[in-house]
Structure 1
Amino acid sequence: MDAVIVTGGSSGLGAAVAAAVAQAGGRPFVIDRQPPAAGVEWIACDLADTRAAEAATRDLIARAGGRIDGVVTAAGMDVPGALADVPGEVWDRIVTIDLLATAAVIRAAVPALKESHGAVVTIASTLGVKAVSDATAYCAAKFGVVGFTRALAAELAGQVNVTLVVPGGMHTKFFDDRDERYKPGPDAVLNDPAHVANAIMFALGQPAGCAVRELVIAAEQESSYP
């Protein structure tokens, strides 16, 4: 595994994936609004602009010499709240970044991935298989990622390895800006994003002809799954 594009690679799970790729001797290429770790090649892009996300992907592929081996769509956001209380532009942004940008980046990368018989790993959530209150945008997006990835796996079978990863809650900044009522409680059991990154690396490393279709990764006492 050499060149891998990681969306959201400056923090959280994306940063853990970029670090894991580098540790394995590969070259992570990050798409994010903020800079990733020192030495990691990246492009500044607001993934809510899906055409810009496509252009950034093509640019990084060119920087990688025209060949990439993998794409990991780790970027994501959420602003919990009742449907009527979440401003429309915020609701739309959640779905755009979590779902539409996932499709946009992969769309732009497919030609190169077919040439390398590379791998795609999409990141859903346990809330992509289990719906809860005050999460209509996030659930809509992550349920969408599940359906998108399953359809993509059928479409690219024999050409690109496609894996859906369903992680539980992790120790990241994902929850930092939420109202207190939407933050994990003091007794919440969260996973280390490095553990999820290890599972992603396992999926990326499968040989041509063998694909890990879906992985659920969570802390042993994860309460949101099943």
Structure 2
Amino acid sequence: MNNESLFPGRVLVTGGASGLGAAVVDAVLQAGGTPVVLDRDLREVSAVKAIEVDVADRAAVSSAVQQAAEELGGLDAVVTAAGIDRCGRLEDVPPEDWEQVIFVNLFGTVSVVRAALPYLKASRGRVVTVASTLGKRALPEASAYCASKFGVVGFSQALAAETGGEIGVTTLIPGGMKTRFFDDRAEQYKPQDDSRLNDPANVARAVLFALSQPAGCEVRELLICHAEEGSWP
């Protein structure tokens, strides 16, 4: 992000085709910024620049980030909203499914940030990594998701320590949101009452808040949830 401005600038959003990512894209547009989407399914993306990529594929991510940065003339911010889940007891979740959660949620976050670092350092930009309240508190039958999001929290804190004064790093910790994230879960793992799920547009506004901090000021961690959130504290 250009520290001379409170506008979000050129913002790369992973998982930007739906859910929180799409809400962040809308918020960036409304704030006068230029979003670019990285997602494996672009069928619902039409109004913004988008690149089809699976964030679990490190080589493809590197190429996609480079393409986006070159087409935009640089990057001011990255928001890593791509994420998946596979619920169940450890012995019941196929190992390849369990590991894919780590590949997407943790390794995908790392790959995108690594590829974007040169551009963010050049612009003195910012990263917003998307963790979860389940990166702070573990629940049963969610070991893959908890492991990935605890990892995102640790990675983000280490990245902030490593790059202080060069780029900004914010760990976003959202509670449950009204998105399609729960659609492919077995019925017992779906929210039975969505009244305690936050609107992703509210969380996107929190992302813009983190991106709009003046030079020398960083929001290191931002936990945002519905007032009656059940997974926190």
Sort the TM-score into its range (normalised by shorter chain).
over 0.9
Structure 1 counterpart of 2:196, from 189, 197, 207: 189
Structure 1 counterpart of 2:13, from 6, 10, 34: 6
Q: 1:107-186 residue pairs with structure 2 within 5 A? A: 107-186=114-193
Q: Is 2:229 aligned against 1:222? A: yes
Matched residue type, 1:87: P
Q: Distance in 2 between matches of 1:94 and 1:21?
A: 27
Q: Deviations over 1:116-141 (max 9, x none)?
A: 10000000000000001011110000
Alpha-carbon shift at residue 25 of structure 1 (Å): 0.8
Structure 2 counterpart of 1:60, from 54, 61, 68: 68
The farther-off stretch of 149-158 and 201-210 is 201-210
Q: List structure 1 runs of 4+ shifted beyond 4 angstroms.
A: none
Q: TM-score, normalised by structure 2?
A: 0.94
Matched residue type, 2:57: D
Matched residue type, 2:84: M
The farther-off stretch of 180-189 and 37-46 is 180-189
SS state at 2:139 partner? coil
Q: Distance in 2 between matches of 1:77 and 1:205?
A: 28
Alpha-carbon shift at residue 47 of structure 1 (Å): 1.4
Q: Is 2:27 aligned against 1:20? A: yes
Structure 2 counterpart of 1:84, from 91, 114, 121: 91
SS state at 1:223 partner? coil
The alignment yields a C-alpha RMSD, in angstroms, of: 0.9
Q: Deviations over 1:64-83 (max 9, x none)?
A: 11x11100000000010111
Find the counterpart in structure 2 of residue 50 from structure 1.
Answer: 58
Q: Deviations over 1:58-107 (max 9, x none)?
A: 11111111x11100000000010111111111111111100001000000
State the percentage of identical aligned residues.
Answer: 55
| Residues 176, 183 of structure 1: 8 Å contact kept | yes
Q: Any gaps of 5 or more consecutive residues in structure 2?
A: 1-7
Aligned residues: 225
Q: Any gaps of 5 or more consecutive residues in structure 1?
A: none
